[in-house]
Amino acid sequence: MLRKIALWIDERLYVSTLYASTAGHSVPANAESWFYVFGSGTLLCFIIQVVTGTCLAFVYTPSATEAYTSRRAVVVHAGNGIYGTGVAF
């Protein structure tokens, strides 16, 4: 059952092709250092910034009178709101 669901998702989103072209490659033998992973680490940080920033942009009000109130509402009422605001800023 789970295999059928995974195949159905893969047919529509091409997850296996995306994995093979990005993370599925073999690491060269001369790249056994931390410098090899800096690019992917930077990309991961950038993606996290974009996702959390986009989510906060839907609820944040950038005005002088409502900015604190909208940020406080995210921190108090949203699940993991304090984490999301901390990562985005």
Number of domains composing the chain: 1
Q: Which domain holds residue 51?
A: 37-89
Per the domain annotation, does 49 fall within a domain?
A: yes
Q: What are 29-83's pLDDT values in tens digits?
A: 777 777 777 887 888 889 988 888 887 788 777 878 887 787 777 777 776 666 6
Quick check: is 72 in a domain? yes
Rounded to two decimals, the pTM is 0.53
pLDDT band at 89 (very low <50, low <70, confident <90, very high): low
> Does residue 76 sit within a domain?
yes
Query: Angle CA(54)–CA(55)–CA(57) in degrees, nearest 5?
Result: 65
Q: How many residues does the chain have?
A: 89
- pLDDT band, very low/low/confident/very high, at 18 (cuts 50, 70, 90): confident
Tell which residue, 65, 47, 63, 57, has the closest CA to residue 74. 57
Tell me: pLDDT of 10 over 70: yes
